[in-house]
Amino acid sequence: MLLDVVAGAGLDRGRAEARLAGDEGLEDVRAAEERARRLGVQGVPFFVIGGQFALSGAQEPQAFLAAFDRLEPQAPSAGGDGVCRITGS
Residue 49, beta-bridge partner list:
53
User: Residue 31: in which H helix or E strand, if any?
Assistant: helix 26-39
What is the tens place of the pLDDT at every residue in 1-33? 899 999 999 999 999 998 888 887 888 889 989
Average pLDDT over residues 20-48: 88
pLDDT confidence tier of residue 65, bands split at 50, 70 and 90: very high
Q: Contact at 8 Å (CB) between 67 and 49?
A: yes
**Angle ∠(85,62,46) on CA atoms, nearest 5:** 50
Domain residue limits, the chain: 1-39, 42-89
Q: Is the model more confident about 19 or about 88?
A: 19
